[in-house]
């Protein structure tokens, strides 16, 4: 019985979610329906920008058809507290939410800083849509937008009003980018937007309520327009992804599962073997070995084809010294 409970809690700890790809450069192809771990999303996004990623579980959904042209920008809209937006367009993959969304952002930003340590023009924008002042500081003065027509959401209620204002802020950023564009300086950019309003609505009305379904439709429509504007601003070289994750609703189950499974957990030796420098050393030894074999082969062929005449080193080294006449 205890074993079954542990399995149940572990399954709940890895909550449901999805990742939808709305825009991609021509050099990247997303296919299939294979599930992805949220902890592996940072590797997929890094590979889309041409970064070397640490050894990780392989995911077959991404194919890089042109290794000389990668995404000029990665744009992510994260929606915590909801397993799916349902009506979002694009290619969608199931997501195992095995870590917080913020960890993906932090890893992605640090990789960009590590790749361009001396760059002074890095664009790393992290915005929560419940902070309009910060959004104005990043993208400039944002004009006000008309409140969308709603049927079930009530702008007079705090949770409903918060979500409507966040959708309006997304629309305001879309209008600003459509008008002013972005500065594309050759260094990959990362834009990360978080929309926390759905989390509160689900806690208030329930995941299948009319209010939540209407909020999902409003948000999905605004995100689609935002993706099109970003794609135009970066000349069709942007990877635009939408990540929804209910890990905030399942964190308590994860904590219980870890406590129950702790006495039987066994650490494996491979857990401590991951080295971020592994790709570097692998390439050094690989190409050195290839070069060494080629040099050895060329030397062997040169000696084999050498003419063993009297002016050859082979003749001088192998013939007996002639006796001098007295």
Domain count, the chain: 1
In a domain? residue 315: no
pLDDT for 219 beyond 70: yes
CB 243 within 8 A of CB 100: no
Identify the pLDDT of residue 92: 93
In a domain, 47, yes or no: yes
Answer whether residue 318 is part of any domain: no
Asked whether the predicted pLDDT for residue 16 surpasses 60, the reply is yes
Alpha carbon 205 to its chain centroid, in Å, reads 32
Q: Which SS3 state, helix, strand or coil, does residue 286 take?
A: helix
**What is the enclosing helix (H) or strand (E) of 30?**
strand 28-30
Q: Is residue 56 part of a domain?
A: yes
119 within domain boundaries? yes
pLDDT band at 317 (very low <50, low <70, confident <90, very high): low
Range of the domain at 123: 17-261
Cβ burial 189-212 (10 Å sphere, 16+ → b, else e) = bbbbbbbbbbbbbbeebebeeebb
Alpha helix ranges (H) inside 14-91: 38-48
Assign 180 to helix, strand or coil: helix
Query: Average pLDDT, stretch 114-143?
Result: 88
What pLDDT score does 308 carry? 63
Q: Considering the domain boundaries, does residue 211 fall inside one?
A: yes
The residues that bridge with 128 in the sheet, in sequence order, are: 194
- Does some domain include residue 214? yes
Note whether 77 and 167 are within 8 A (CB): no
pLDDT digits (tens, 9 = 90+) for 162-208: 999 999 999 999 999 998 888 887 889 999 999 999 999 999 999 89
How many other C-beta atoms are found inside a 10 Å radius of the C-beta of residue 78? 22
Query: pLDDT digits over 264-280, tens only?
Result: 333 344 444 445 677 77
Report the alpha-carbon distance of residue 127 to residue 194 in Å, rounded: 6
CB 244 within 8 A of CB 82: yes
Interacting residues of 289 by C-beta distance below 8 A, sequence separation 6+: none
Q: Mean pLDDT, to the nearest integer, of 113-136?
A: 89
Task: Please give the residue that has the higher pLDDT: either 53 or 313.
Answer: 53
255 CB-near residues (< 8 Å, 6+ apart):
none
As a whole number, the mean pLDDT across the chain is 82
Q: Are 318 and 91 in contact (CB under 8 A)?
A: no
The burial class, CB within 10 Å (0-12 / 13-18 / 19+), for 74 is: buried
| CA-to-CA separations, 274 to 54, 66, 278, 326, in angstroms, rounded | 8, 28, 8, 76
- For the cut 90, the answer to whether the pLDDT of residue 67 exceeds it is no
Q: What percent of the chain has pLDDT over 90?
A: 49
Q: Is the pLDDT of residue 12 over 80?
A: no
Nearest to 91, CA basis, from 38, 34, 37, 53: 34
């Amino acid at each position: 019985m205890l074993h079954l409970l542990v399995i149940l809690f572990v399954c709940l700890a890895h909550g449901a979610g999805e990742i939808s790809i709305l825009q991609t450069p021509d050099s990247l192809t997303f296919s299939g329906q294979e599930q992805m771990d949220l902890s592996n999303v940072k590797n997929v996004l890094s590979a889309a920008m041409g970064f070397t990623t640490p050894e990780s579980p392989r995911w077959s959904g991404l194919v890089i058809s042109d290794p000389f042209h990668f995404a000029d920008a990665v744009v992510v809209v994260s929606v915590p507290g909801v397993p799916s937006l349902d009506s979002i367009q694009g290619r969608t993959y199931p997501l195992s939410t095995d870590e917080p969304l913020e960890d993906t952002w932090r890893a992605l930003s640090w990789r960009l800083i590590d790749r361009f340590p001396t760059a002074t023009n890095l664009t790393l924008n992290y915005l929560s849509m419940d902070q309009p002042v910060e959004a104005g500081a990043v993208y400039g003065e944002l004009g006000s937008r008309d409140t969308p027509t709603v049927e079930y959401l009530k702008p007079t209620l705090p949770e409903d009003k918060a979500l409507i204002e966040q959708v309006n802020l997304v629309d305001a950023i879309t209008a600003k980018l459509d008008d002013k564009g972005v500065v594309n300086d050759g260094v990959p950019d990362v834009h990360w937007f978080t929309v926390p309003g759905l989390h509160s609505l689900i806690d208030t009305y329930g995941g299948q309520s009319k209010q939540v379904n209407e909020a999902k439709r409003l948000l999905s429509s605004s995100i689609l327009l935002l993706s099109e504007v970003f794609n135009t601003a970066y000349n069709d070289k942007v990877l635009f992804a939408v990540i929804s994750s209910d890990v905030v609703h399942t964190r308590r189950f994860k904590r219980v599962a870890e406590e129950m499974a702790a006495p039987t957990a066994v650490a494996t030796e491979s857990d401590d073997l991951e080295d971020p420098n592994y790709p570097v050393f692998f390439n050094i030894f690989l190409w050195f070995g290839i070069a060494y074999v080629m040099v050895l082969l060329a030397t062997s062929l040169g000696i084999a084809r050498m003419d063993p005449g009297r002016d050859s080193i082979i003749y001088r080294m192998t013939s007996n010294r002639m006796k001098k006449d007295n």
